[in-house]
C-alpha cells in the first residue's frame, strides 16, 4: 500500500481514494490502476480499479462487466461497475490484500514449495472452474494474484484482451508481464485456456524464484517438471488447468461438483456443473496457512487504512471557523 501521488484521482465515482495498492517498483507489470477507497460517509471501504494508460477503456469496461457477472471460486468479487465509456471503473469489497509481489517482499524472498503448491492449487481450481464454462481469464500474472487471509484471489480479468485486439502483437505492451504471455497470445492470437495455463506456470515460477522466467535449476525440484510443462511453447504440450490442479492439490482435496455461473447472455443464476471424471475440488474449510510475516503485513495494511479513514473523518468534522 502506497501513498497517493499528485496524478492520482482524489475521487473515483462515489469513492474517496485513500491509497494506491501497488508499489512503484511493480507498476510496469500491473494491468490496472488499483486504489483503496471509501464512501464519503466512511461506511464502506473498497478496492477500486481503473484501466491504465494504453488500454482500450471500452474493452476494459466490457471485461469488468463480465467479471461482475461471474461467480467463480478464487475470482475477485466485483460488486460494482461504473463510470463513463472513456473513464470506467469497478469496485470490490475491501479485505486486507497483498499483491503476490508484495507477499514475496513481506516474506523476504521466494516462498517455500508447500506454500507455492497451495497457492497454485487454489488458482488452478478457480481457473479450471472458469474454463469449464468457456471463460478464459486472459490476465494472469503475479500482479493479478491478490493474497488475502482466506487465500488467493484472481484479478485483472481480461487484461490481455483489453491491452490490444486480436491480431495485434502484444509484446512490450505496458501492463502485460512478458513472462506470463504465451507465445500465441504475444503474437496477437486470441487468449485461450492453455494461455491461462502458461501464465499459471509463470506465476508458480515467480512465487518460487522471484521472477517469471527462471532457469530450470532455480526451481524447487518438486516443481520443475510441472512448471516446464505449463511453460511449453506449444499449447498442445501444456496440461489443462484441471490436470494442473490434480498435480498441485494438497492432502485433503476432495472430488465432487463445483458451482460456477454462466457466461454473460446465458441464463442467470449459479449452475451446478459436474467436473470431469477424477476432477479435484479443494476443501475450502481448510484455509491456506500463511507465514507470520505475511499475516503481519496484511494486519499492518488494515491498521494503516483504518488510521487513514479516521484521519479523514476527523478532518471532515473539523470546525471551519471560530465560534461567536
Average pLDDT over residues 278-295: 73
**pLDDT score recorded for residue 34:** 97
The pLDDT > 90 percentage for the chain reads 73
Please report where in the chains the cell 464512501 appears, as a residue: 39
Question: Any idea which fold 11-261+270-299 has?
Answer: Transferase(Phosphotransferase); domain 1 (1.10.510)
Q: What is the pTM of this model?
A: 0.85
**pLDDT score recorded for residue 242:** 96
Residue 139 in grid coordinates: 490476465
217 has a pLDDT exceeding 70: yes
Distance CA 186, CA 178 (A): 8
Q: What is the CA radius of gyration of the chain?
A: 20
Distance CA 94, CA 78 (A): 11
Helix (H) or strand (E) holding 118: helix 113-132
Distance CA 230, CA 213 (A): 12
Strand, helix or coil for residue 153: strand
Burial label for 192, CB within 10 Å (0-12, 13-18, 19+), is: middle
* Residue 32 pLDDT class (50, 70, 90 cuts): very high
Average pLDDT over residues 77-94: 94
DSSP 255: -
Chain-centre distance for alpha carbon 130: 14
Q: What are phi and psi of 171, to 5 degrees?
A: -65, 130
Q: What is the dihedral of CA 52, 177, 291, 21, to 10 degrees?
A: -10
DSSP 202: H
* Residue 259 pLDDT class (50, 70, 90 cuts): very low
* Residue 40 pLDDT class (50, 70, 90 cuts): confident
Q: What is the pLDDT of residues 120-143, one digit of tens each?
A: 999 999 999 999 999 999 999 999
**pLDDT score recorded for residue 274:** 38
**pLDDT score recorded for residue 268:** 31
Average pLDDT over residues 55-69: 95
Which of 258, 305, 251, 309 has its CA nearest to residue 281? Answer: 258
Which of 61, 231, 209, 222 has its CA nearest to residue 140? Answer: 231
* Domain ranges within the chain, ordered by starting residue: 11-261+270-299
DSSP 274: P
263 has a pLDDT exceeding 50: no
* Residue 309 pLDDT class (50, 70, 90 cuts): low
CB under 8 Å to 67, separation ≥6 — which residues?
75, 76, 78, 90, 157, 158
| Biggest CA pair distance of the chain | 79
Which of 168, 252, 248, 149 has its CA nearest to residue 203? Answer: 248
Amino acid at each position: 500500500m502506497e501513498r497517493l501521488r499528485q496524478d492520482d484521482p482524489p475521487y473515483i465515482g462515489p469513492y474517496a481514494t485513500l491509497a494506491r495498492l501497488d508499489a512503484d517498483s511493480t507498476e510496469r507489470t500491473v494491468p490496472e490502476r488499483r486504489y483503496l477507497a471509501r464512501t464519503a460517509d466512511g461506511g464502506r471501504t473498497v478496492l477500486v480499479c481503473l484501466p491504465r494508460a494504453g488500454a482500450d477503456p471500452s474493452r476494459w469496461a466490457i471485461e469488468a462487466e463480465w467479471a461482475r457477472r461471474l461467480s467463480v471460486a478464487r475470482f475477485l468479487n466485483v460488486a460494482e461497475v461504473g463510470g463513463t465509456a472513456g473513464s470506467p471503473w469497478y469496485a470490490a469489497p475491501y479485505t486486507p490484500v497483498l499483491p503476490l509481489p508484495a507477499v514475496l517482499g513481506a516474506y523476504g524472498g521466494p516462498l517455500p514449495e508447500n506454500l507455492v503448491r497451495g497457492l497454485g492449487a487454489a488458482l488452478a481450481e478457480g481457473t479450471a472452474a472458469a474454463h469449464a464454462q468457456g471463460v478464459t481469464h486472459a490476465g494472469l500474472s503475479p500482479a493479478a494474484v491478490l493474497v488475502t487471509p482466506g487465500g488467493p484471489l484472481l484479478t485483472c480479468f481480461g487484461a490481455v484482451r483489453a491491452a490490444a485486439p486480436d491480431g495485434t502483437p502484444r509484446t512490450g505492451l505496458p501492463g502485460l508481464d512478458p513472462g506470463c504471455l504465451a507465445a500465441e497470445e504475444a503474437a496477437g492470437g486470441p487468449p485461450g485456456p492453455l494461455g491461462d495455463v502458461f501464465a499459471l506456470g509463470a506465476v508458480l515460477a515467480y512465487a518460487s524464484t522471484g521472477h517469471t522466467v527462471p532457469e530450470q535449476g532455480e526451481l524447487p525440484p518438486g516443481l520443475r517438471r510441472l512448471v516446464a510443462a505449463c511453460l511449453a511453447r506449444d499449447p498442445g504440450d501444456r496440461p489443462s488447468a484441471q490436470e494442473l490442479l490434480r498435480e498441485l492439490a494438497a492432502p485433503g482435496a476432495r472430488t465432487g461438483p463445483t458451482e460456477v455461473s454462466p457466461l454473460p447472455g446465458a441464463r442467470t443464476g449459479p449452475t451446478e456443473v459436474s467436473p470431469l471424471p477424477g476432477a479435484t475440488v479443494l476443501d475450502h474449510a481448510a484455509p491456506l496457512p500463511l507465514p507470520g510475516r505475511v499475516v503481519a503485513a496484511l494486519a499492518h495494511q488494515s491498521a494503516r487504512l483504518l488510521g487513514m479513514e479516521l484521519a479523514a473523518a476527523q478532518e471532515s468534522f473539523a470546525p471551519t471557523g471560530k465560534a461567536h
